[in-house]
Amino acid sequence: MEFEPYQIFDESVSFEEKALNIFKYQSENNPVYGRFCKALGIASSINIAEIPLLPIQAFKEKEIVTSKKNMSADGYQFFQSSGTSGMQRSKHIVVDPDLYKQSIFDGMWEFYDLHDYVIWAYTPGYNSSPNSSLVWMLNALIEREDSGHSKFLELDKSLLQSEIDKIRASGKNLMLFGAAFGLLDLAERSNVDLAKDTIVMETGGMKTFRREMTKQALHEQLAKDFGLPLEQIHSEYGMTELLSQAYSRGSEWFDCPSWMHVSIRNPENPMQEVEQGEEGLIGVTDLANFYSCSFILTGDKGIMNAENQFQVLGRWNPKNLRGCNFLIDQD
């Protein structure tokens, strides 16, 4: 029987079975991924550990589409990464936006009771990008919530105590989404008393970059400036090329929804996973990428713990492989 896209959410089917079905479908029907597998000599009947991960740069070079059969002829949804002019940007064609929507909602439901939250989104730098997957996701979350209090916040405006009080009066909590440094600006500008169970959801990105800071320091600063306990500062790990998100809830470790799986790969041989606790490239199997490519090798550096949680340690920087480069532990 043919594997149906919405079966990715079916927990009665194992992740492995779903992934192998999708691998077969994509390696046979996605021209880019098919050529990639063929060049590596990977046949379709393999086990899950042998599925090759397509380097994420492919989304900058080609349209990564497995099937266009459900796409509208007069236009289709696509997401594009942000970037300055002249910079190559990733493009992710979304054949079935409803699949993305379900991935967003079900993914959040695994970690949060969405009924309890009003969604506010502060996304400077993204608002002018009509094809931002983050803005699309936030819009979906805001539209879904029915109290009338969820919204995108106006840029360069402070938070208002009266609006926060209205959320409190409605019996809901606030979940405030925002790009890393945009949130810092917002916190600095605002003098409000947030309820202690407010969640600040940092979505990564450096759109209003103004300083160098570690993620840990950023979260500590956000907790201090918003007057919240550190465990209320959460993170979302997502990107244009993925249709699922992982979440960290008050620590630096991320959890994936059940149809998303992260592995840490050896940069010298991405077919291999590194030992637990070792640094490597973050590989993502995102079954929600049913119509594009579910098996992605990111350019991010990460590590994994025994609970299958992962940490993002920034960008993998291979720029120093050439030329003289004195390294204490090697030279």
Which residue ranges make up the site for another protein (CB under 8 A)?
32-33, 35-40, 52, 54-55, 57-58, 61-62, 267-272, 317-328, 330-331
Which one, 115 or 322, has the nearer CB to another protein?
Answer: 322
Handedness of CA 157, 161, 164, 169 (dihedral sign): negative
Residues 6+ apart with CB under 8 A from 90: 56, 59, 60, 80, 81, 240, 241
Q: How many angstroms separate the CA atoms of 331 and 324, rounded?
A: 10
Cβ 41 to another protein, closest distance in Å?
Answer: 9
Check if the beta carbon of residue 163 is closer than 8 Å to that of residue 190: no
Cβ 187 to another protein, closest distance in Å?
Answer: 29
The Cα diameter of the chain in Å comes to 63
Burial 112-132 (b: 16+ CB within 10 A, else e): beeeebbbbbbbbbbeebebb
CA atoms within 13 A on the CB side of 226: 31
Which one, 58 or 287, has the nearer CB to another protein?
Answer: 58
Cβ 291 to another protein, closest distance in Å?
Answer: 17
Helix (H, G, I), strand (E, B) or coil at 117: strand
Do strands 310-315 and 295-304 pair parallel, antiparallel, or not at all (unpaired)? antiparallel
- Burial of 238: CB neighbours in 10 Å, binned 0-12, 13-18, 19+: buried
Cβ 286 to another protein, closest distance in Å?
Answer: 18
Cβ 300 to another protein, closest distance in Å?
Answer: 15
Which one, 75 or 86, has the nearer CB to another protein?
Answer: 86
H-run or E-run covering 71? none
Q: Of 105, 204, 114, 120, whose CA–CA distance to 163 is shortest?
A: 120
Which one, 55 or 204, has the nearer CB to another protein?
Answer: 55
| Region label for 150, one of left (φ > 0), alpha (ψ between -120 and 50) or beta (otherwise) | beta
Cβ 60 to another protein, closest distance in Å?
Answer: 9
Check if the beta carbon of residue 273 is closer than 8 Å to that of residue 267: no
* Single-letter residue type at 202: E
Tokens 């879904």, residue?
Answer: 144
Which one, 250 or 270, has the nearer CB to another protein?
Answer: 270
Cβ 188 to another protein, closest distance in Å?
Answer: 28
Which one, 201 or 274, has the nearer CB to another protein?
Answer: 274
Which one, 92 or 234, has the nearer CB to another protein?
Answer: 92
Cβ 212 to another protein, closest distance in Å?
Answer: 11
Which one, 210 or 322, has the nearer CB to another protein?
Answer: 322
Cβ 297 to another protein, closest distance in Å?
Answer: 8
Which one, 171 or 323, has the nearer CB to another protein?
Answer: 323
